[in-house]
Amino acid sequence: MQKAMPAMATPPATDVYALGRDPGETARLQRQSEELGPDSAALLDRVGLRPGQDAIDLGCGPRGIIDLLAERVAPGGCVVGLDADPGHVAMAREFTAQRGLGSVQIVAADARHTGLPPGSFDLVHARTLLVNVPEPAEVLAEMVRLAKPGGWVASLEPDVEYTLCHPAHPAYTRLWELFRAAHSRNGADLLIGRRLAELYRQAGLQDIGLEARARVCQPGDSRRTIGPDLARSIHPVIVSLGLADQEELDGLDRAVRSHLDDPRTLVVPHLSFLAWGRKQ
């Protein structure tokens, strides 16, 4: 009889997250809550989250949209923010305390296997989470499991194929090439936005909706530098893969930021896809 092979251990969630855990990435996630706030509010409008309902924000990071959710479900509703990074969990708890969000609970868990009871939430939400994990369908399956029958699953994810910088600059092109190569090292998909409706259908969701948004980032918009900011978050990975050395990365970073500082430079960093679907 053939000997059974031992089961492969599931890697920790913090190991598969494509953008790492350094302070720069944490600061970027903090800014992102403000930057993507209007898009997230529009997504919540699509699903009609209302007072008395329960919602969860998977991969909430240091803040996520837990405040937006708390505003929508009050009074009477509850919000859970969930993240695998202990540092982000602590920061999210501090944020909820500072805002006086008494109906919010922050828990430390893996978005792929939360351990929470099935059918617990009227809305299960994730923002820029599926783009950073190698098996997004695994996370989505957990999202569907957590939704109540008739409840909603909703995501906001990017698709970076159509990033635009005009006039073009070779340093910008090179930096995006390096970022894409390093980000995809574990199978994460930077084109996940276009696949959301497909993934939702495969997960068994109904009444699926999809919207694409393109944002022209004006001078002074913190989203204008999302390209070099993301690249900075994985400089160590780029170097470890032998794609570039730190000297080149520093030079590219300076050149790109100088180009983006020019108010005449037009920047559309990527498309953002809003997706929503109902559980039967």
Report the pLDDT value the prediction gives residue 259, as an integer from 0 to 100: 98
Q: Residue 93 carries which side chain, given as an amino acid letter?
A: R
Q: Tokens representing 206?
A: 């109904």
Residue tagged 């970073």 (tokens): 253
Q: What is the pLDDT of residues 61-105, one digit of tens each?
A: 999 999 999 999 999 999 999 999 999 999 999 999 999 998 999
Residues 215 and 280: beta-carbon distance below 8 Å:
no
List domains and CATH numbers for the chain: 17-278 (3.40.50.150)
Q: What is the pLDDT of residues 202-235, one digit of tens each?
A: 999 999 999 999 999 999 898 999 999 999 999 9
Average pLDDT of the chain is 91
Which residue(s) pair with 110 in the sheet?
113
DSSP line for 156-192: EEEE-TT-EEES--HHHHHHHHHHHHHHGGGS--TTG
Measured CA to CA, the distance from residue 80 to residue 126 in angstroms comes to 12
Q: Is 38 exposed, middle or buried (0-12, 13-18, 19+ CB in 10 A)?
A: exposed
Measured CA to CA, the distance from residue 186 to residue 258 in angstroms comes to 31
Whether pTM > 0.75 for this model: the answer is: yes
Residues 60 and 66: beta-carbon distance below 8 Å:
yes
Residue 7 has pLDDT above 70, yes or no: no
